[in-house]
């Protein structure tokens, strides 16, 4: 799987020297994982010194050193990624700022890169992190396709289940449902809620659930939240363009997702696994229905031909 830099190099968009110079500058601006975790107050000064000593003595990466010292926590991943995204200028933006690439050419290649990642199924071709929307040439017949999803439980063993159950309690489920109802009301002209703030808040809740689900090995939970995040990202990016009735559709779709998540949680409580959920035809059908409804709404919105500019995709490369 090619990284973005190699892809644009192979496409002839930049020279090897220009790409190398930009990547060196990007790396110089990237904060170290250890720096982030310490600045966030997640480890003590003594622990920081222990990590550095262990890394120096045994040539270990940051995560391995933390695991050896029993310091590592799964939430470190999201914290590090979020902070890096905030503080590191993107490779594409560096190339544009240095006038090494014209923005319109960059957007064209970004579209090709999105297709490339999707075809190679790279991490579900994450819309929220890796892809580009350029929908004028979209394939509208995708709406007729159903998602084919068959999880492999052979290598999955849930661990630290209480971490997820603490995060997604019945009280949290009710709280999320209330947020969804608030999202539904965004189509009401009289509502006084900031749509962007509400969507950001709900996205953050989903992102936390997904990160914890990934950490414990809950692949069904992680996958359906991932699809829901993609849809939310679309709404956030085109908030000024979506129609008021679209919020009702978003709410209806996410209520189904929350219902599925609740059943998944209860099944994990009862059996300690997600596989038992998947083995029950009525629950599997409910899961696939929510998954397909989410994707169908996403494709329907795509088909309207929303157009992005460079500012819309700064955080995608």
Residue 146 or residue 206, greater confidence: 206
Write the CA distances from 271 to 205, 263, 275, integer angstroms. 25, 12, 9
| Residue-range domain boundaries for the chain | 4-136, 161-316
CB neighbour list of residue 255: distance below 8 Å, 6 or more residues apart? 177, 180
Is residue 268 within 8 Å of residue 165, measured between CB atoms? yes
Write the CA distances from 308 to 8, 132, 143, 166, 240, integer angstroms. 20, 8, 21, 39, 12
Q: What are the tens digits of pLDDT across the range 81-114?
A: 778 777 777 777 788 888 888 877 777 777 677 6
- The mean pLDDT of 203-230, rounded to a whole number, is 91
- SS3 of residue 45 by DSSP: helix
Residue 197 or residue 308, greater confidence: 197
Write down the number of H helices and E strands in the chain: 16, 0
Residue 189: what pLDDT?
Answer: 56
**With 70 as the cut, is the pLDDT of residue 315 above it?**
no
Residue 173 and residue 264: Cα distance in Å, rounded?
Answer: 12
Region of residue 191 (left: phi > 0; alpha: psi -120 to 50; beta: else): beta
Q: Greatest CA separation found in the chain?
A: 63
Out of 1.20.120, 3.40.109, 2.40.50, 1.10.10, select the CATH number for domain 161-316. 1.20.120
**With 60 as the cut, is the pLDDT of residue 309 above it?**
no
Residue 231 and residue 242: Cα distance in Å, rounded?
Answer: 12
Q: Determine if the pTM surpasses 0.75.
A: no
Question: E strands along the chain, which residues?
Answer: none
pLDDT band at 257 (very low <50, low <70, confident <90, very high): very high
Token code pair at residue 108: 């064209």
Token code pair at residue 18: 């220009």
Residue 302 and residue 138: Cα distance in Å, rounded?
Answer: 7
Token code pair at residue 164: 């997820």
Maximum mean pLDDT: which of 36-45, 61-70, 177-186: 36-45
**With 80 as the cut, is the pLDDT of residue 222 above it?**
yes
Q: Of 164, 2, 143, which is closest to residue 75 (Cα–Cα)? A: 164
Residue 81 or residue 212, greater confidence: 212
Residue 313: what pLDDT?
Answer: 47
Token code pair at residue 281: 């035809």
Region of residue 11 (left: phi > 0; alpha: psi -120 to 50; beta: else): alpha
Q: What are the tens digits of pLDDT across the range 7-59?
A: 888 888 888 888 888 888 887 878 888 999 999 999 999 999 999 999 888 88
Write the CA distances from 178 to 59, 173, 201, 202, integer angstroms. 49, 9, 12, 10
pLDDT band at 284 (very low <50, low <70, confident <90, very high): very high
Residue 136 and residue 169: Cα distance in Å, rounded?
Answer: 42
Count of CB atoms situated within 10 Å of the CB of 99: 7
Residue 294 dihedral angles phi and psi, to the nearest 5°: -65, -45
Residue 265: what pLDDT?
Answer: 93
């Amino acid at each position: 799987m090619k990284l973005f830099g190699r892809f644009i190099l192979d496409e002839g968009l930049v020279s090897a020297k220009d790409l190398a110079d930009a990547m060196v500058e990007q790396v110089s601006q990237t904060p170290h994982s250890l720096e982030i975790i310490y600045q966030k107050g997640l480890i003590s000064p003594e622990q920081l010194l222990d990590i550095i000593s262990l890394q120096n003595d045994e040539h270990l990466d940051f995560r391995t050193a933390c695991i050896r010292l029993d310091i590592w926590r799964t939430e470190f991943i999201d914290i590090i990624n979020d902070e890096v995204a905030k503080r590191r200028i993107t490779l594409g933006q560096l190339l544009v700022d240095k006038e090494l690439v014209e923005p319109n050419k960059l957007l064209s290649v970004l579209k090709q890169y999105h297709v490339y990642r999707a075809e190679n199924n790279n991490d579900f071709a994450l819309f929220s992190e890796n892809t580009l929307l350029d929908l004028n040439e979209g394939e509208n017949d995708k709406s007729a396709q159903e998602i084919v999803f068959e999880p492999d439980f052979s290598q999955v063993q849930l661990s630290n289940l209480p971490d997820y159950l603490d995060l997604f309690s019945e009280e949290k489920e009710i709280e999320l449902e209330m947020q969804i109802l608030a999202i539904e009301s965004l189509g009401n002209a009289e509502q006084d809620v900031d749509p962007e703030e509400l969507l950001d808040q709900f996205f953050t809740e989903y992102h936390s659930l997904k990160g914890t689900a990934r950490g414990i090995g809950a692949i069904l939970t992680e996958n359906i939240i991932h699809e829901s995040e993609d849809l939310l990202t679309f709404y956030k990016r085109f908030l000024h363009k979506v129609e008021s009735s679209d919020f009702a559709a978003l709410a209806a779709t996410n209520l189904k997702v929350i219902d599925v998540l609740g059943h998944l949680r209860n099944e994990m409580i009862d059996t300690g696994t997600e596989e038992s959920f998947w083995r029950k035809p009525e629950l599997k059908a409910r899961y696939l229905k929510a998954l397909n409804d989410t994707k169908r709404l996403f494709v329907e919105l795509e088909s309207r031909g929303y157009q992005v500019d460079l500012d819309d995709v700064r955080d995608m490369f």
